[in-house]
């Protein structure tokens, strides 16, 4: 993929989609700085970029903690001298947390607040600390991760769905407010992607039900999302901003 050579991309979050994205970026010569609450996950994603021919470093970051977010951004600047892009992919989706995310009458407020802190406030914090560096360097690209759940009207996972919808508004705000500063900001809304986390969180019968209503003949794979994220982070997407791309096998058909 063109337009990524030597670019420095900060990852807020690791896991299957992040690792697939890191592979595309590394193959194109990019360098990444990965932060995740699980050190091993962050290192796996950074290693994917290195294995593909790029470079990457990992550190432990809870994006709900502003000091930790600032430290990651400072680490990127100290290591590589600049930031060219930001990929927000972290989410509060540990199985124990998902089990607490029920509906509006049953959800525990602590679970609701933690999801807001990670999924929404965390994205605000990464943007708050990354944008000044992106602007100082002449501009850059941001990709925020939403979910097909935003459009599905799920009977549970209320905190997850609401926060992911909020990321859409945050994405358009950044695109509008900082566009003249050279900032592009887009969102990606994956459908059901078969990561290890998905397999742990969703029973097989639910996955089969989703596939039955999906125009495509299979569920998504991490590389389906990673390829789109890499495109949005690259110079090939130089005139694409303020968009939410649904990559979901046709489950959501939007104009």
Residues tagged active-site? 160
Q: Which helix (H) or strand (E) element contains residue 55?
A: strand 55-60
Q: Strand locations in 154-250, DSSP E? A: 183-190, 244-247
CA-CA-CA-CA dihedral for 75, 78, 79, 82, to nearest 10 = 100
User: Residue 203 CB: number of other CB atoms within 10 A?
Assistant: 9
Q: Residue 72: enclosing H or E segment and its boundaries?
A: helix 66-80
How far apart CA 192 and CA 225 sit, in angstroms, is 11
91, 73, 90: which is closest to 82 by C-alpha? Answer: 73
CA distance 184 to 103: 34
C-alpha angle 86-235-182 in degrees, rounded to nearest 5: 65
Give me the DSSP letters along 117-181: IIIIIHHHHHHHHHHHHHHHTT-EEEEEE--THHHHT-SS-HHHHHHHHHHHHHHHHHHHHHGGG
**H/E stretch holding 35:** strand 31-36
């Amino acid at each position: 993929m063109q337009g990524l050579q030597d670019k420095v991309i900060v990852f807020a979050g690791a896991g299957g989609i992040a690792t697939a994205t890191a592979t595309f970026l590394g193959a194109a010569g990019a360098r990444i700085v990965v932060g995740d609450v699980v050190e091993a996950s962050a290192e796996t994603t950074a290693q994917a970029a290195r294995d593909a021919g790029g470079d990457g470093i990992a550190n432990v970051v809870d994006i709900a903690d502003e000091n930790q977010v600032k430290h990651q951004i400072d680490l990127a600047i100290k290591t590589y001298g600049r930031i060219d892009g930001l990929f927000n992919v972290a989410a509060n989706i540990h199985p124990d947390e998902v089990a607490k995310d029920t509906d509006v009458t049953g959800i525990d407020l602590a679970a609701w607040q933690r999801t807001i802190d990670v999924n929404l406030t965390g994205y605000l914090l990464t943007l708050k600390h990354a944008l000044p560096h992106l602007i100082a360097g002449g501009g850059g690209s941001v990709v925020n991760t939403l979910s097909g759940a935003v459009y599905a009207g799920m009977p549970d996972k209320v905190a997850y769905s609401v926060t992911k919808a909020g990321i859409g508004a945050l994405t358009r705000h950044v695109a509008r407010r900082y566009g003249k500063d050279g900032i592009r900001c887009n969102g990606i809304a994956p459908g059901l992607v078969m990561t290890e986390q998905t397999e742990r969180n969703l029973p097989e019968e639910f996955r089969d039900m989703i596939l039955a209503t999906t125009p495509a003949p299979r569920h998504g794979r991490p590389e389906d999302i990673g390829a789109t994220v890499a495109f949005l982070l690259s110079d090939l997407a130089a005139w694409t901003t303020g968009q939410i791309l649904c990559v979901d096998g046709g489950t959501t058909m939007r104009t």
